[in-house]
Amino acid sequence: MKIRHTIATLFVLLGTVLTAAAQFENPVKWKATATGQQVEITATIGGAWHMYDIGPYEGGPNATTFTFELPAGVTLDGGIQQLTPPTRVQDEIFGMEIGYFSKSARFLQKFNVSSELAAAGAPITIKGSVEWQVCDDESCMPPTDEDFTFTITPSAQAAASPAPETPAAGDTSVTATPDPTGKMVADDAMMVDPAADATLSATDGTTEQASLEGLQQNEKKSFWGIIIEAILWGFAALLTPCVFPMVPMTVSFFMKGSDNKAKGRMMASLYGISIVALYTLPIAIIILVTYFVGGDSVTADIFNWLATHWIPNILFFLIFMIFAASFFGAFEITMPSKLVNKSDSKADKGGLVGVFFMALTLVLVSFSCTGPIVGTVLVKSTQGAIWEPIFTMLAFSIAFALPFTVFAFFPSLLKNLPKSGGWLNSVKVVLGFIELALGLKFLSVADQTYHWGLLDREVYIALWVVIFTLLGFYLLGKIRFAHDSETKYVSVKRLFLAIITFAFVVYLIPGMFGAPLKALSGYLPPLSTMDFNLSATTGTAATGTTAPSSLDRSKIAGGAPKYSDFLHLPHGLEGFFDYEEGMQYAKEVGKPVFLDFTGHGCVNCREMEANVWSDPTVQQLLRDNYVIIALYVDDKKQLPEEEWITTPDGKVRKTLGKINASFQIERFGINAQPYYVLLDNAGQPLVTPRSYDLNVNGFIQFLESGLKAYQAGR
């Protein structure tokens, strides 16, 4: 009973830590986007929380309230409008009908500008704030407020119209209130005439919800995927040959103090905490120091450098190859013996200090097996927010420490474990093959971002075919390494693993001739890198017949889009890789713009292209109705000096990727890929942008809603 209780407690600790990580952010995120003389304010509501609408509710719940500080010559054009219809219910507690939002909410506020300000034509900065409250089925959070700033641009019509009333001197704060009746919900889903403003044109509820949910859940899906992967790697590390033998040593150490059970459990708990701290704290310190000293941009630059620069990627590739050779038995990788022996000698002293150094010894001795696993987990997590590597390593270390902590609590459990033997070396060799395959990803990222042309798609797939074929023969006992035990027969487990491995090889082979291999789209180089694509040469692609060019090259300077000599779109689509050039072409041909923020090292971008862009309807919509502009945020192509830009914080951006990344941050306030924005010819958003979401129907509705908004505004 005690054993179950203790194990349950440890799992609860793991769950508590991960839940705390998930709840680190506020459940409501706000974004204000100004267009002309109006601002659209969007709230993204996380989890099961719901937010009250603008009310007002006298004696009722805390309604969402907006306040604007207006400069002289600017007034509100009506009250705040709810573009998203709230859910309305009769609340028995408050004794009134109330409205609330789940998932998301959109609001609109228009402004009047005096003729003098409109004639000047200068942008006008307005400060605002919003106060709101969220509740779930069990509790409510205290009312929260947030400030925001945006810039409106006077229109030509405002210059010709009479000057609006100007607030009295000193009265610059205006609260946006609803209609006195409090009935802000109309029968229609939208309260703004789509024909009056294309940027806020109405879409059906399914499209709007799919678009907003794609943005809201993208980071959460990605974050939890990395966390779960880290936990699995943490448990898997126990089976490696340099970690598994440490279990008996752990049991032997803690059996010394088994007479005093209370003290023994305290020491075992400290042992587990020490292991977690030794893995997590160094990473956390490095990240936090760079974050607080240099801010978000410095930390983001460091992670971007780690994820895309050739130096760390080639270094990681070489490390994976070295570890693979070590796992095959070429040599043994260990920490310096002096360091390990010194730590081990201090562990023999016992007490709290001894427990800590026992944990340190475990971390040092197991380095040769956990090192590449930790590297894989960390590099993957650096492609997200700055906190993700900390939480990822925390999840890995807790899962890694959990078995050792349990055995430290209950040393008698050791008798239930299988004995060390040849099976451990087999696990090590299998990991070596996996290291070879995964290490190629780092070389591929460097190859794509710097356009070396060393590891095109068919070369990459050919290497994987060879690696996993050899792995299959090894599992069948046809290949043996120096430290392997003789295999007299093939066990059922090895046979099933061999069948799975050879089936994977059979799946890979068509990829050599142009098959999309959608299940691996995030790990393989794009189809455009293939020198020989059988499906393209025979006139058929994976999704249908290859279409003729969709670009009028007579309208393009030089006859071809800028950078198209080394950048390409998937599935035979054609477009632009420079924002200004693409926008100019869109104006000439009278089409809306599909703006794609992407990256060579972006796994989710490749998955979207393979699983969503491959749909025939999606391709038809993109090819026939939009001008595609793909902006790579990690491309290392250095541009001529006259094309360099200087960011507001004084940094000079010289490469194509950094210029595109700065544009995305400054224009849209986000630095995540993939990120899809539908624009009109003036560069104004047509509908809510969309992020990573493999829902094909939702993406089709997203494109169709953009077309409707564009046509309504013409």
Residue-wise pLDDT for 458-506, tens only, equals 899 999 999 999 999 999 989 888 777 777 788 898 999 999 999 999 9
> Residue 166: its pLDDT value, please?
40
Q: Which range (105-119, 167-181, 302-316, 583-597) has the least confidence?
A: 167-181
Q: Which of 119, 373, 140 is nearest to 237 (CA)?
A: 373
Cα 709 to Cα 431, 503, 592, 623, distances in angstroms: 52, 47, 10, 18
Q: Which residues pair with 703 in a beta bridge?
A: none
pLDDT per position as a tens digit, 140-186: 666 778 888 888 888 755 444 444 444 433 334 444 443 333 333 33
- Residue pair 494/412 in contact (Cβ under 8 Å)? The answer is no
Using CB atoms within 10 A of its CB, is residue 630 exposed (0-12), middle (13-18) or buried (19+)? Answer: buried
The letter for the amino acid at 39 is: V
CA distance 103 to 43: 8
Question: How many helical (H) and strand (E) elements, i.e. helices and strands, does the chain have?
Answer: 20, 20
Between 352 and 189, whose confidence is greater?
352
Q: What percent of the chain has pLDDT above 90?
A: 16
0.75 cut: is pTM over it? no
pLDDT tens digits, residue range 571-618?
889 999 999 999 999 999 999 999 999 988 777 788 888 889 989 999
Average pLDDT, the chain: 73
Alpha helices by DSSP H, listed for 23-71, are: none
Q: What is the DSSP string of 403-436?
A: HHHHHHH-GGGGGGSPPPSHHHHHHHHHHHHHHH
pLDDT of res. 648: 73
Least confident of 95-99, 190-194, 403-407, 516-520: 190-194
Enumerate the β-bridge partners of residue 652.
646
204 backbone dihedrals φ, ψ, rounded to 5°: -70, 160
pLDDT tens for each residue of 22-77:
444 558 889 888 888 899 999 988 877 889 898 888 767 888 999 999 888 899 98
Q: Looking at residue 105, what is its pLDDT?
A: 92
User: pLDDT higher for 206 or 421?
Assistant: 421
What pLDDT, on the 0 to 100 scale, is given for residue 142?
66
Section 365-379 average pLDDT: 56
**Which amino acid is it at 26?**
N
Pick the closest to residue 435 from 233, 153, 214 (CA basis).
Answer: 233
Report the pLDDT value the prediction gives residue 170, as an integer from 0 to 100: 38
Instruction: Give yes or no for residue 627 having a pLDDT over 90.
Output: yes
